[in-house]
A and B are shown apart, each in its own frame.
Chain A
């Protein structure tokens, strides 16, 4: 759905993008990860037709962003990292205004605005002036604004920045909902655990270059050589932990087992059968209190990748 080849952009002597390549399949949530100044916002601005690249080609749905920006704008909904709202407009009028800007037929605008307000859980705020809404509500309204023309692709630049935990969860659920509606979502964020839970694809950018990209599990597997499980025992004495470790470490597909914080962290190959391990532990009489995949791998992958590059 989104294809980028050899994208380069300089601002004076500073290189923002240096031959960036990426590919996002239709219907995926693509997490775009990188440190500040890596080129995330420049990439999103190029895809949103706001910035012209110096070199390279970017297409959305097969439409080239530089040659046919108006065609791309039909396909894309854009939510910038920082955004403002208008004074003295109600939420309903705000969405109707942007629907008009996207040439939604006049007779549909009111209905589209109402439906979208319901979607982002602001149905009861239709008559409220947008500048009086909370930051989280404004963020949701801004997401609704990006949807007024029913785009196939959403470009979200740090959609959860500056939000409290509750508002972050709401935005995350909303993005999942949009994926279920068939949208392709390109999202950049600094909050890696959230991206990890949300995204199906991930790309790491550093100093204008894509250092790793692909489906989340593949990238995690390639970078970290396996994924991690955490096993906690009902009675976490050292003897029992060591016994359980001995039971686990010789199994096929297990890369390493460590005792960490009164529990076991098991690094396994991507195709390792987790359920079988749990069954075998229980059958062997080990009292298992919890058995879960360890999240936060994305942060570690990010650190490893950027460490290699630097």
Chain B
């Protein structure tokens, strides 16, 4: 099989179509889209009014209003995506198990990876729809300036990778637990730790390091936990236009609380780059774990390349067997 055929097979996944059709036929789909855009618009407008009345920051006039509103919109969008991702993905596999349809899927030609991948794409596709639907709200901010195109693109990229990471960990929970309720609760716990835990922990550890070294050492270096946090990454991206990169050596030094002068070794990473990197690792590990769980922690059985299969003709129906 060629690479292009593999790529087509990756996205021509029957589960994506089935879950998509099934989800969009439910009343929940328009309700969630309305709720999402309503909340985003409401909070966006509130922050716009606040930014117009009380401008704060380095920019001037309308640019400051635009930057503040964009920051608020981006952070709210991240929060909403983090809120919706476990709800969409945490029941994806456990739901099949509860409905007793998982065995039938596993006996088909879809591999465990195909099932996990299909469920991920189906969940994330709906979140992509939400993100796309919100683009006009973000575009309105460009009327005021203060945000360049790269910041806009990277913010959306961070939102998408956050959605993917949240959905992947939720899928892992869904493969791990038999009950959707348990899976959803744990997935929200993991999401809370990933977003609020890393933020609070990162700030506390940064302050602790700052207090330990003393203010003479200059402005504090953010703790690596913050570099794994998409909220911090978005905030830095928009409000530190000159960037706040850090060497990988310094990040490791801070992560393992190693003393001594700052290590300036290795390539530098912006917070958003580090966040995306961490999220990619989380995605890969979660998907691998979910696949392993689905096939019962057996060694991966490679799918044998077969000769061109006989075309699957419909069964021949004997005369008179039709209704």
A: residues with CB less than 8 A from B are 45, 48-50, 52, 68-71, 73-74, 76, 78, 80, 82-89, 93, 97-105, 108, 111-112, 115-116, 118-119, 121, 123-124, 145, 147-150, 177, 180-181
Contact = CB atoms under 8 A, between A and B. Distances in A.
Contacts of B311: 105, 108
Contacts of A119: 315, 317, 321-322
B109 A74 contact: yes
Given A68-B304, A86-B18, A115-B317, A98 B108 contact: yes
A148 B101 CA distance: 16
B103 A50 contact: yes
Contact of B298 (A52, A98, A101): A52
9 contacts: A50-B106, A70-B111, A85-B99, A93-B21, A101-B110, A108-B314, A119-B315, A148-B312, A149-B312
B206 to A, nearest CB: 48
Contact of B105 (A69, A101, A150, A177): A101
Contacts of B110: 101
Given A45-B103, A78-B107, A86-B101, 4 more contacts: A80-B104, A108-B312, A111-B314, A177-B318
Nearest to B13: A100
A177 to B, nearest CB: 6
B241 interface: no
Nearest to A106: B12
B298 A74 contact: no
- The listed residue with most B CB atoms (<10 A of its CB), out of A70, A108, A118, A123, is A70
A271 to B, nearest CB: 32
Given A83-B100, A88-B22, A101 B315 contact: no
B314 A88 contact: no
Interface residues of B, number: 38
B296 A52 contact: yes
B314 A100 contact: no
B212 interface: no
A66 to B, nearest CB: 8
A85 B101 CA distance: 7
A97 B316 CA distance: 21
Contacts of B108: 73, 98, 101-102
Interface in B69-100: 98-100
B14 interface: yes
B108 to A, nearest CB: 4
A70 B110 CA distance: 9
A52 B322 CA distance: 39
A88 B25 contact: yes
A76 B298 CA distance: 21
B295 to A, nearest CB: 9
Nearest to B115: A101
B100 A82 contact: yes
Contacts of A111: 314
A119 B316 CA distance: 10
B315 A78 contact: no
Interface in B279-323: 296, 298, 301, 303-304, 306, 309, 311-318, 321-323
A118 B100 contact: no
